[in-house]
Amino acid sequence: MMDLLFDPQAWIALATLTALELVLGIDNIIFISILVDKLPKHQQEKARRLGLFMAMFMRIGLLLMLSWIVGMVEPLFTLPVFNQPISGRDIILLSGGLFLIWKSTGEIHGSLEGEDESHGAGPAKAAFGAAILQIMVIDLVFSLDSIITAVGMVDDVRVMIAAVVCSVGLMMLFASPIGRFVSDHPTIKMLALSFLVVVGVVLVAEGFGHHVPKGYIYFAMGFSLAVEMMNINMRKRAANKVKLRQQIPGGPD
C-alpha cells in the first residue's frame, strides 16, 4: 500500500480516473436529482445521499468481481433477426436504456401535463421506496459502464476503488446545488430529461453493439446548456428592467 503513496504514476492514474468517473457520473446525478425532486422536501437530501452511497458501494462491489465483469462480455446467444451476439453486459445495457427512456419520457409527460402527486404519509413512504429502487436500477447500469471503462485504464484495483470514493465524495458536494438548480428552472429540467432520453438511446445502441462516443453527447448537452443559461440570464435582465420601470414614476412604458 505504501508503494502506491509514493508512486507518481498511481497519483496520475487516480486523478485521471476520478475525473473520468465524475464525467461518467453526470447523467447519474441528473437522474437522481430529478427523482428526488418528486419527494417531500425533508426526504430529498436523504434520498440523494443514499442514492450516491449505493452507487459507490455498487461500483466497489463490481470492482471486487472483475473476473465476473470480464466474463459478462462473452456472448450468451445470438439474435437471429439481427445476427447480433448478445452478452450479459448487453442485456443490462438494453434493460437500463429502455428503463431510462421509459422513465424520462414519463417525467416529461408528467411535467407537461402538470400531474400533481399527493405527499401524504403513505404515498410519501411508497414514493421514497420507489425512488430508491429506481436509483438502484440505474446505478447498476451506470456503474457497469464506468467500471468497464476503468478496467481498461488502470490495472490496480486499489487505485480504482480510491477513484470511486473520491468521485462520489465530489458528487455529494455538487449534487445538492445541481438538484436545486434543476428544480428551480423548469426549462433546465426539461433539457436534463431530454438528455437522459438520449443517454437511454445510446445505451440501447451499445447493447446492440453500436458504440456511440459519449463525447458527442456531452458536447451537445453542454452547448444546449450554455444556450439555455444565456436565455435564463436574458429573462432575468428583462424582468429587472420591468421592475425598474415600475419603480420609477413617469418612466417609459
Domain that holds residue 136: 2-212
Within a domain: 152: yes
Evaluate if residue 231 carries a pLDDT over 70.
yes
Query: Range with the lowest mean pLDDT among 35-39, 117-121, 207-211?
Result: 117-121
Residue 40: inside a domain: yes
pLDDT score recorded for residue 6: 60
Mean pLDDT of 215-225: 80
Which position has the higher pLDDT, 247 or 180? 180
Q: Residue 121's pLDDT band (boundaries 50, 70, 90)?
A: very low
Q: Is residue 235 part of a domain?
A: no
Q: Answer yes or no: is 185 within a domain.
A: yes
Work out how many domains the chain is built from and give that number: 1
Query: What is the rounded distance in angstroms from the CA atom of residue 9 to the CA atom of residue 23?
Result: 21
What pLDDT does 67 receive? Answer: 60
Q: Is 246 contained in some domain?
A: no
Q: Under 8 Å CB-to-CB from 203, ≥6 apart: which residues? A: 93, 94, 96, 97, 100, 141, 145
Identify whether 53 is part of a domain.
yes
Q: What is the overall mean pLDDT for the chain?
A: 76
pTM over 0.85? The answer is no
For residues 228 and 187, is the Cβ–Cβ distance under 8 A?
Answer: yes
| Chain segment 58-80, per-residue pLDDT in tens | 778 877 776 666 666 777 788 77
**Does 219 fall in a domain?**
no
The single-letter code of the amino acid at 245 is R
Task: Please report which residue ranges of the chain form alpha helices under DSSP H.
Answer: 2-5, 8-24, 26-36, 41-63, 66-71, 88-113, 121-151, 157-184, 186-207, 214-247
Distances (CA, A) of 151 to 65, 106, 157, 166, 208: 11, 34, 8, 17, 21
Could you read off the pLDDT of 15-60 as tens digits, one per residue? 777 777 777 677 778 888 888 887 888 888 888 888 888 878 877 8
Q: What is the DSSP letter of 75?
A: E
Residue 126 belongs to some domain of the structure: yes
Q: What is the distance between the alpha carbons of residues 54 and 4, in angstroms, rounded to a whole number?
A: 27
3 pLDDT band (50/70/90 cuts)?
Answer: low
